[in-house]
Chains A and B, each alone.
Chain A
Amino acid sequence: MEIDGQHQQEATTAVPHGFNADYLRIYYGKLFPHGDFFKWLSYGNDGKHPGCDQSFVGRREFSFTLENDIYLRFQSFDSVAEMENSIKEKCPFKIDIGPPAKRHAYAQSGNNVFVPVERELIFDIDISDYDDVRYCCSGADVCKDCWPLMTIAIKILDASLRDDFGFNHILWAYSGRRGVHCWVCDSRARKLNNEQRAAIADYFRVYKGGENTMKKVSLTGPVLHPFLARSYTDVLKCFFEDKLLLSQQLFASEERYRKILDLIPDENIASELHDKWQGNRRSSISKEDVNATRWEQLKTTLQSGKQKAQGLRRCVEEIVFSYTYPRLDMEVSKHMNHLLKAPFCIHPKTGRVCVPIDPNNCDDFDPTTVPTLSQLLGELNADGLHSNSENGK
């Protein structure tokens, strides 16, 4: 969404960067898509046709986090107007969406255990879970060199959700700072129980983290399952070789290539390569060559005919998977009653809007150019009643 001729006006209409209740009031008043949002979550039950369940919408739980960390659970609304008024009035700093329950959200004391009746299948991927494989940033930071890890995650999961599981109604959203959320909204997905959700999460799980093992990806078996094989050949291999090797300079220093060598179960091969590279001081070859060259050497050594050992068969793939395969937060997906931040919220620390991401064009998504609250308000100022919403890609 480009707005031409802005530059002159920007100087006078720019709004200082920030995140506060006043800004939010305007955002909720003029930009937050209350109607579409409510319509999405109603799944057709807000209409007048005979199949409608009038109580459905009112049984969905929301939670608001207000200024000063005041946390309100069990918010529910019977109509879009009610929801809109509540949001505008309370100005939540964060809105979480929970499941629709058996009984009205307020009926939750004593024996009335709050039982979810259905719930979108959700995924949460956070780039800080990749800190051990990215050198450009750590923690809450994100840049154009490491963000592609998220893009990869979207591609792999989106393809599998559609091709393997047959889902179609999938919403991907930027989490506002350092990750992405996925909402699978097919009615078949909403009806899944906890065991089935856990099964899907486990199907996707390859990286078995934990601070106390060195090797976190273990691909046993003479061949890969079709899902993993497809992910590797279609997405991971070229991403690793063409992008990640260079952007993260994975072999450029001893510390870094040691980490990769640690993933090779054969001591001899690992030290052979180590010695070879240690002796190889960087001469006139540019940095790019070092990474690609060393990777080729590693592959050749591991895949050469004389390596027959079990543990080495899939070693190259294991390395690629370790560095690139999506790392899901399992707990988020497994339980129906897990609350997840709503799309179109604003992230308090970055001011960015949690915009949807189009999986078919996710390569083009750049988190550093996502509109911020202050930018949007600046545009509103400049244009009077500008009704363009946030970056709607």
Chain B
Amino acid sequence: MEIVRSHRQIAAAAAGGGGGDGGGRAGGLPTYRLAPQLEVRLEEFELFAIDRLGVLKGIADGLSRGKRPEEMEKLVNELWKARMRRQDPAETLNKDIISHFVLRLVYCRTEELRKWFLSMETTLFRYRFRLESHESQRMLMSEFQLPYKALPHLEFEAVKDKLSQVARSIGQSATVESVFFKVPFEEVPDLVASRRVFLSKGYAYVAMSQVVSLVVTQFRCNISKALVLTNRKWMATIKEEEKDRLTPIVEALSNAYFGPDYSQPKDAVEISLKDIDQLARTSFPLCMRHMLEKLRENHHLKHGGRMQFGLFLKGAGLKLEDALAFWRAEFSQKVGSERFDKEYAYSIRHNYGKEGKRTDYTPYSCQKIISATPGVGDHHGCPYRHFGEENLRAALNKMGVSGHPLEEIMDKVKNRHYQLACTLTFEAAHGVSCDTGINHPNQYFSESQNMLKAKNQAVQSQPTT
């Protein structure tokens, strides 16, 4: 991809072609196989990327609100129309391909960024694929080299009952689709995980409508590999070569949109051991309050809880020595301080990046916490998702939330909008409205702290006359 400063027209020919432009397209959807042979104006480099980022951010938002697939499909369509579509379909394709490759540069540079980008681009692709015609979808399947042949009639008849049973078990009609593919189960992990396919002897029987899963898995795999390669290239040559031109744009783009990850607590924010209970009452989100309560009660937390809560405390500014003292004070009441030192202290130091491969672990975001799978005896995860209704109401009452706000929150929970529920809780507990939605427990904590500090300052600066 050639980036030029002049106002020359973009080579439309490159975009207009079929598969040959290297963007790799079949049907209406590019697959971003190879960097396109296009010329791009510097201004467009940034603008296209920003528009696409808007789409990706909109998708992230939709996902965190727990939107159903039909809603996501609609959302993606709207976002794409609003930000990416041009009059000339050739121009749209152009923008599509260029913006994708620019964002690859932006998001290839750390593991976290790659993960986010991969996740959003895959989701975008998934819904765009669903919106394509059958013809286009079939072409894309062959583009992705999915050599699966449709099930021959006899075999289909043999398993038809089971296929029907599976369809009904996931709430679809009993009349079975007519086209099925027999695919090794490894290729469709998400369908296996949710028991949406019939399995027999290592094969999954996948309906045409589920084929999206197949294609998307492949897409994700390709992009994942490409990102790693892009990162290498970036580090090896591009970053340095472009340090006066593209690099600053790339760096600004990623900071602008990704948001803080709380891996390094902001300067001068520190919490000390003795403050924890007090802070929990005023500023911890429900998930962390709950774990503290259980920790105090049982003098123990299982692994999932130790990770989620421990990293949160780190992000909030609890120093390693204080963290060790904190956990030891509780655990030694149950297992003795010798066992604590032997079995638990190591992993606390590990969380702070002082052991093993010294990764400084990042506190979990809401997305990660919501997707946890707490088992028997666990207290981690997101209470809005994992608590039964009675328990949740009781917990919120303890936080001082009741009446109409409580009902609003429970309503959000019923519709699986867990982060919105938490945001409403924040608003009810602090008596203010919160403009930015909550998507990270440490964000809840720092917003709360900021608010309280501001209140204190306002009180102090009241004129005394």
Contact = CB atoms under 8 A, between A and B. Distances in A.
A165 B171 CA distance: 24
B388 A199 contact: no
B304 to A, nearest CB: 8
Given A165-B185, A166-B201, A213-B387, A198 B169 contact: no
Interface in B399-416: none
A198 B386 contact: no
B160 interface: no
A208 B373 contact: yes
Interface string B344-381: 00000000000001000000000000000111111101
A229 interface: yes
Given A165-B199, A188-B202, A202 B193 contact: yes
Nearest to A112: B357
**Taking chain A's interface residues, is the majority helix, strand, or loop, or is none over half, making it mixed?**
loop
A288 B387 CA distance: 35
A215 interface: yes
B272 interface: no
Contact of B375 (A164, A210, A212, A221): A210
A200 B171 contact: no
How large, as a class, is the contact surface on chain A? Answer: 35 or more
Q: Which one of B165, B170, B186, B392 has the greatest number of beta carbons of chain A within 10 Å? A: B186
Contacts of A327: 375-376
Contacts, number: 110
A209 B374 contact: yes
Given A208-B373, A209-B375, A221-B170, A226 B165 contact: yes
B203 A221 contact: no
A210 B342 contact: no
B375 A225 contact: no
Contacts of A196: 185-186, 189
A199 B162 contact: no
Nearest to B378: A210
A234 interface: no
Contacts of B186: 188, 192, 196
B189 A198 contact: yes
Contacts of B388: 212-215
A163 B201 contact: yes
Interface string A210-229: 11111100001111111111
Given A113-B357, A188-B202, A213-B391, A223 B165 contact: yes
Contact of A129 (B373, B376, B386, B390): B376
A129 B290 CA distance: 22
Contact of B169 (A164, A166, A225): A225
A209 B378 CA distance: 8
B241 interface: no
B162 A226 contact: yes
Interface of B: 162, 165-166, 168-171, 185-186, 189-190, 192-195, 198-203, 290, 294, 303, 342, 357, 373-379, 381, 383, 386-388, 390-392
6 contacts: A188-B202, A196-B186, A205-B373, A210-B376, A212-B388, A224-B165
